[in-house]
A and B are shown apart, each in its own frame.
Chain A
Amino acid sequence: MAVETHNSDRLAARTGRRLRDNRDWLGALFMLPAAAILLVFLAYPLGLGFWLGLTDAKIGEAGHFIGWGNFVSLAHDAVFWLVVFNTTFYTVVASVVKFALGLYLAVLLNERLPFKSLLRAFVLLPFVVPTVLSAIAFWWIYDSQFSIISWMLIRLGLIHRYIDFLGEPWNARWAVIAANIWRGIPFVAITLLAGLQTISPSLYEAATLDGATAWQRFRHITLPLLTPIIAVVMTFSVLLTFTDFQLIYTITGGGPINATHLMATLSFQRAITGGYLGEGAAIADAMVPFLLAAILFSYFGLQRRRWQQGSAD
């Protein structure tokens, strides 16, 4: 009996040692906390969101499975399609302008400028200010009675009445896009600046010696080497713009006549303000294909290896 116990102890000790030395086992063990966090805080809410979108759940009621009912209903909802258009337009215009201006600013800040550090700190300011605060500032800037822009233009004699920035659907769309651009540029600029600083100056020196113009240096050195960073930055930028909520909620509340409602704000309005969790979740679910498309475009479109290596493609 004693011999048997002794053998089983030795076996257990040996198994323990093997597991301790097994890199696969240890790797899996160390990944467990991260996996648990992802499961609880990412996978579960996402799965719940999808499930809610397939139910008629209301606030305080679990609801019943109704299949694609919410999506069919949304397909016949004119407001939903207007909001899809608003969101796409808002994302495309704001992201393109943020990229162009952000890249321009990054290149500029990468040059030898007086007070370079101070300038870089200033550029970050719009990103540092809490979104709601900047949104309230824009709300005043665009106010139909108190807009400082209108006030200045009137003083300069360029206009004769206050501009109705937020009361006219297209004015309102452009106004909120401008606010989003102002807020988003620092993120693009500073991240691209970090990317620019990883490019070796010797490449530029060599190109200059070969007689390359500034545009050629930018086109054939800066842009290809920056592309991996651009892919990441633009993926984040598109995702953050597409899911924007605070700016719209504070500045327009989705008005006028739903002209600035985005999918995120409509989802909130229907799910929480209106109480129809199922439909709100369905709107949020409907954002996923757009977001996936943006991610796939960034990764497969912008991360083309040959282009990065200076090839024509």
Chain B
Amino acid sequence: MSDFSRRDVLKAGVATTAAAVGAGLMPGTAQAAWTNQPEPNASLRVLRWKQFVEGDIASFTASTKKFTEKTGIKVRVDTESWEDVRPKAAVAANVGAGPDIIIDTNDDPFKFPEKLVDLSDLADYLGGKYGGWYDTCRAYGTHGNRWIALPQGVNVSCINYRISAIKKAGFEKIPEDLPGFLALCQKLKGTATPAGFALGHASGDANNWTHWCLWTHGGMVVDPKSNVVLDSPETVASLEYAKQLADTFVPGTLSWLDPSNNKAFLAGELGLTGNGISIYTVAKNSPDPALKAIAADMDHARYPIGPVKKFTEQNLTLSAYVFKYSKYPRAAKEYLRFMWEADQYDDWLQSSNGYISQPLKAYAKNPVWTADPKTTPFRDGADRILVNGYAGPLGYASAAVMGDFIVVDMFAEACSGTQTPKAAASRAAERAKRYYQV
């Protein structure tokens, strides 16, 4: 910290801005000035989700090191699988001790908003400088009129498919409507590469596609006033559609956890599934010719659109927040600013090979989205998602409903035939009410 001063911070900010404008990555919009004076002798502990693609953590670590060299602020970065970050964050919030910064998922920060440092000045600065926040990211970051978390990006899920498989089934591309999509999956059934979507307790994959299916039919767990409206004709329609879809799936999807479809796809036993870009990245970077062939034969598409006539995808959104118990909140803010600036963020986005889609609009111009056209469908993920607990507010209940797999179980019951769609919707609504009525 000895060589760090307010002037250095301002100089760094100006240099970064100039670099970003020069690179054409930001529109040069009016921006809030950034002034911050980190605490002397500060050191930070960061807990973040474990990388799914190798380049992510390498770039993240290199930028962190650069930050330390520049500011003298030591930063220790720990990683956990993203499902394990949640319990650690919960413990930290409860006992008032732990990492200064946690990069967590979805609505977790909304479980303890009062324990988090106000990041409004930083969010306003970054939003002003980088083309503004996507609406969904703004929703994931703000509690009332206060920014409690800084969205890091969206782990976008797309339809992953084998080009040869859908061509053999008589399709040139993934249909954008529900009947066409069902017809494709029905054609794939019985081939060596059928479709398959997770119906087990897969926090990412199962929640992604079941929420999409529910929302695209007009179903929702709650209305804007948090009244549970899950037991509705729209939900039943979504379950009836999902049942038809599930009848075309490869056997075993009821047990699938998050890695299951990756394994099956990379083994050449799956023609179509819902996943992030990780399958493609692993196949493309593998020295194994069989996997390279799969990478060459696969592509991505957006989820189809149903009766609601708009995108209704559900994706994992990652956000960083700073606990009030941190002794160095200003240093934490400085670190986050540094990591979200174009010099670092663009490199990280590129190194992650599109695993994460940007929360700030200016970063949509990053070459990672155009250098390889197979990554392009992942680019606008933040523009296509609905927030958790749609159409209600983010908070304990929305997090609990997702954490308790209420929507996933509802789909699993209907798809497996253990309950009729009507009964599954009714049972799920009763479960959801227990959270929304507490």
Query: Which stretch of A6-14, A85-93, A119-127, A162-170 is in the interface?
Result: A162-170
Which residues 219-273 of A sit at the B interface, judged by CB distance below 8 A? Answer: 252-258, 269-270, 272-273
Q: How many residues of chain A have a CB within 8 Å of chain B?
A: 38
Q: For the complex, give the distance between the alpha carbons of A254 and B418 in Å.
A: 17
Taking CB atoms, residues of chain B closer than 8 Å to A109 are none
B58-86 Cβ-contact flags toward A at 8 Å (1 or 0): 00000000000000000000000001001
Q: Is the CB of A272 within 8 A of B86?
A: yes
Taking CB atoms, residues of chain A closer than 8 Å to B202 are 253
Q: Whole-angstrom distance from the CB of A198 to the nearest CB of chain B?
A: 44
Q: For the complex, give the distance between the alpha carbons of A169 and B255 in Å.
A: 9
- 21 intermolecular pairs with C-beta atoms under 8 Å apart: A60-B115, A144-B252, A161-B251, A252-B201, A252-B257, A253-B257, A254-B201, A254-B405, A255-B257, A256-B200, A256-B254, A256-B416, A269-B404, A270-B403, A270-B404, A273-B86, A273-B87, A273-B403, A274-B399, A275-B90, A276-B438
Given the known A-B contacts A60-B93, A145-B264, A275-B111, are A167 and B396 also in contact in the complex, defined by CB atoms under 8 Å? no
**Would you call A59 an interface residue if the criterion is a C-beta within 8 Å of the partner chain's C-beta atoms?**
yes
Which residues 391-438 of B sit at the A interface, judged by CB distance below 8 A? Answer: 396, 399-400, 403-405, 409, 412-413, 416, 418, 427, 430-431, 434-435, 438
Q: For the complex, give the distance between the alpha carbons of A146 and B435 in Å.
A: 38
Nearest 6 interchain pairs by C-beta: A144-B252, A60-B112, A166-B255, A253-B201, A273-B403, A274-B403
**Would you call B114 an interface residue if the criterion is a C-beta within 8 Å of the partner chain's C-beta atoms?**
yes
**Would you call A58 an interface residue if the criterion is a C-beta within 8 Å of the partner chain's C-beta atoms?**
yes
Taking CB atoms, residues of chain A closer than 8 Å to B256 are 144, 167
Contact partner of A77 among B93, B267, B416, B434, CB < 8 A?
B434
**Would you call A78 an interface residue if the criterion is a C-beta within 8 Å of the partner chain's C-beta atoms?**
yes
Among A161, A164, A167, A274, residue most surrounded by chain B Cβ atoms (within 10 Å)? A274
Q: Whole-angstrom distance from the CB of B251 to the nearest CB of chain A?
A: 5
Given the known A-B contacts A166-B252, A172-B255, A273-B403, are A253 and B431 also in contact in the complex, defined by CB atoms under 8 Å? no
Task: State the main secondary structure of chain B at its contact with A.
Answer: helix
Contact partner of A73 among B201, B396, B409, B434, CB < 8 A?
B434
Taking CB atoms, residues of chain B closer than 8 Å to A295 are none
Q: For the complex, give the distance between the alpha carbons of A50 and B41 in Å.
A: 42
Q: Whole-angstrom distance from the CB of A65 to the nearest CB of chain B?
A: 14
Q: Is the CB of B201 within 8 A of A255?
A: yes
Contact partner of A252 among B200, B409, B413, CB < 8 A?
B200
Taking CB atoms, residues of chain A closer than 8 Å to B94 are 59-60, 277
Q: Is the CB of A164 within 8 A of B251?
A: yes
Taking CB atoms, residues of chain B closer than 8 Å to A257 are 254, 409, 412-413, 416, 418
Q: Is the CB of B255 within 8 A of A276?
A: no
Q: For the complex, give the distance between the alpha carbons of A282 and B39 in Å.
A: 43
Among A61, A142, A256, A269, residue most surrounded by chain B Cβ atoms (within 10 Å)? A256
Q: Is the CB of A145 within 8 A of B400?
A: no
Given the known A-B contacts A252-B200, A256-B199, A275-B399, are A146 and B86 also in contact in the complex, defined by CB atoms under 8 Å? no
Given the known A-B contacts A164-B251, A256-B254, A274-B403, are A60 and B418 also in contact in the complex, defined by CB atoms under 8 Å? no
Which residues 166-212 of A sit at the B interface, judged by CB distance below 8 A? Answer: 166-169, 172
Q: Is the CB of A252 within 8 A of B400?
A: no
**Would you call B137 an interface residue if the criterion is a C-beta within 8 Å of the partner chain's C-beta atoms?**
no
Q: Is the CB of A78 within 8 A of B111?
A: no
Q: Is the CB of A256 within 8 A of B255?
A: yes
Taking CB atoms, residues of chain A closer than 8 Å to B427 are 78
The size class of the interface chain B forms with chain A is 35 or more
**Would you call B269 an interface residue if the criterion is a C-beta within 8 Å of the partner chain's C-beta atoms?**
yes
B142-180 Cβ-contact flags toward A at 8 Å (1 or 0): 000000000000000000000000000000000000000
Which residues 51-88 of A sit at the B interface, judged by CB distance below 8 A? Answer: 56, 58-61, 73, 77-79
Contact partner of A167 among B254, B404, B413, B435, CB < 8 A?
B254
Q: For the complex, give the distance between the alpha carbons of A256 and B434 in Å.
A: 22
Among B90, B93, B269, residue most surrounded by chain A Cβ atoms (within 10 Å)? B90
Q: Is the CB of A59 within 8 A of B112?
A: yes
Taking CB atoms, residues of chain A closer than 8 Å to B412 are 255-257
**Would you call B310 an interface residue if the criterion is a C-beta within 8 Å of the partner chain's C-beta atoms?**
no
Instruction: Return the chain A residue nearest B116 by Cβ.
Output: A60
Contact partner of B267 among A145, A167, A252, CB < 8 A?
A145
Q: For the complex, give the distance between the alpha carbons of A277 and B399 in Å.
A: 13
Q: Whole-angstrom distance from the CB of A70 to the nearest CB of chain B?
A: 10
Taking CB atoms, residues of chain B closer than 8 Å to A270 are 400, 403-404
Q: Is the CB of B255 within 8 A of A275?
A: no
Q: Is the CB of B438 within 8 A of A79?
A: no
Instruction: Return the chain B residue nearest A275 by Cβ.
Output: B111
Which residues 367-413 of B sit at the A interface, judged by CB distance below 8 A? Answer: 396, 399-400, 403-405, 409, 412-413
Instruction: Return the chain B residue nearest A66 by Cβ.
Output: B438
B267-303 Cβ-contact flags toward A at 8 Å (1 or 0): 1010000000000000000000000000000000000
**Would you call B25 an interface residue if the criterion is a C-beta within 8 Å of the partner chain's C-beta atoms?**
no
Q: For the complex, give the distance between the alpha carbons of A71 and B252 in Å.
A: 35
Q: For the complex, give the distance between the alpha carbons of A270 and B416 in Å.
A: 24
Q: Whole-angstrom distance from the CB of A219 to the nearest CB of chain B?
A: 43
Q: Whole-angstrom distance from the CB of B165 to the nearest CB of chain A?
A: 16
Q: Is the CB of B200 within 8 A of A253?
A: yes
**Would you call B250 an interface residue if the criterion is a C-beta within 8 Å of the partner chain's C-beta atoms?**
yes
Q: Whole-angstrom distance from the CB of B350 to the nearest CB of chain A?
A: 32
Taking CB atoms, residues of chain B closer than 8 Å to A258 are 409
Which residues 244-267 of B sit at the A interface, judged by CB distance below 8 A? Answer: 250-257, 260, 263-264, 267
Q: For the complex, give the distance between the alpha carbons of A307 and B433 in Å.
A: 53
Q: Whole-angstrom distance from the CB of B239 to the nearest CB of chain A?
A: 14
Instruction: Return the chain A residue nearest B110 by Cβ.
Output: A275
Which residues 88-146 of B sit at the A interface, judged by CB distance below 8 A? Answer: 90, 93-94, 111-112, 114-115
Q: Whole-angstrom distance from the CB of A266 to the nearest CB of chain B?
A: 9
B349-381 Cβ-contact flags toward A at 8 Å (1 or 0): 000000000000000000000000000000000
Q: Is the CB of B263 within 8 A of A145?
A: yes
Taking CB atoms, residues of chain B closer than 8 Å to A272 are 86-87, 90
Q: Whole-angstrom distance from the CB of A293 to the nearest CB of chain B?
A: 28
Q: Is the CB of B252 within 8 A of A164?
A: yes
Instruction: Return the chain B residue nearest A268 by Cβ.
Output: B87
Given the known A-B contacts A172-B255, A253-B200, are A59 and B90 also in contact in the complex, defined by CB atoms under 8 Å? yes
